[in-house]
Structure 1
Amino acid sequence: MSKTREAGKSTAAKSAYALAGLLAAAGLTHLAYPKPYDRIVPRVLPGPARWWTYGSGAAELAVAAAVAHPRTRRSAAAAAAGLLVAVFPANVQMARDWRGRGTTARNLAYARLPLQAPLVAWALQVRRSASRG
């Protein structure tokens, strides 16, 4: 294998591991510190907010593990993109709820909204970079 191709694979693997790390960190915080997440669960969802917080945390951990493994990386990265889209309504709920807070908090909540797009794009790039074998 050429050094250029090896470097490309190494970069792709590093990107996948970084994505897995981000998802794992998010999943762990959902499980260890659920209250802040409970508050941003859209109220239109049925059942207790804690169920959704724990469920999304568990999903993030499972997807993180699958993204980290080369054999499951391609499909897991697609699942990561879907998961990132699925949790977007919580960011919208946070932005709506924080409209009356101070400028810094409000701006933080609003800044989270466009951040989701590059995260989804990153997951899709990891998917494209993953081997098909």
Structure 2
Amino acid sequence: MTRTVLRWLLALFYGAAGMFHLVKPAPFLAIMPPGVPAPAAVVALTGIAELLGAAGLVQPWSLPLRRAAGWGLAAYALCVWPANVQHMFNDMARADQGLGLGYHLPRLAFQPVLIWLAWWVSRKAR
């Protein structure tokens, strides 16, 4: 039961994030690490990846597809970690320090939990 609830919550989170990536890409473009080619395309593709991952987590027909979605979202969370670090650097360089370390450090520390959670919720409950 817990795994199912968390799977749906994670899918809702990634679904909303995916929509924001596509509808309002500016905040995501602002935290893109330097040197990433075609940043607008990368933001759009990450939004699509989040939407597909969310759909894969909650579809009821295929456990292998759900597992693939979990692995995909875990890999996705790992791959976007540098953007979260860049966001912290950008904020901390501001005169007012933006959102501050009280926001960024827990966010960065939660990233491994998010990676594990994507993998765990995609497993069949025993």
**What percentage of residue pairs aligned between the two structures are identical?**
31
Q: Is the 8 A contact 1:73 1:130 kept in 2?
A: no
Match of 2:92, SS state, is: coil
Normalised by the size of structure 1, how large is the TM-score? 0.81
Give the Cα separation in 2 of the matches to 1:94 and 1:111: 13
Q: Name the amino acid aligned to 2:107.
A: R
- Residue number among 102, 108, 115 corresponding to 1:113 in the alignment: 108
Alignment partner, residue 58 of structure 2:
68
- Counterpart check, 1:52 vs 2:42: yes
Counterpart of 2:45, as a letter, is G
Query: Structure 2 length normalisation: TM-score?
Result: 0.85
- Residue 103 (structure 1) shift: 4.4
Instruction: Say whether the 8 Å CA contact 1:27–1:58 is kept in structure 2.
Output: yes
State the alpha-carbon separation in 1 of the partners of residues 3 and 10 from structure 2. 11
Q: Is the 8 A contact 2:92 2:98 kept in 1?
A: no
Look up the equivalent residue of 2:47 and give its one-letter code: G
Whether the aligned pair in 2 keeps the contact of 1:27 and 1:59 (CA below 8 Å) is yes
Counterpart residue number, 2:85: 92
Aligned CA-pair RMSD:
1.6
Letter of the 1:105 partner, please give it: L
SS for the counterpart of 2:99 is helix
Distance 1:30 1:83 in 2: 14
Distance 1:28 1:55 in 2: 11
Larger radius of gyration: 1
Query: How far apart are the structure 1 equivalents of 2:48 and 2:83?
Result: 16
Question: What stretches of structure 2 of length at least 5 have no aligned partner?
Answer: none
Q: Distance in 1 between matches of 2:93 and 2:77?
A: 26
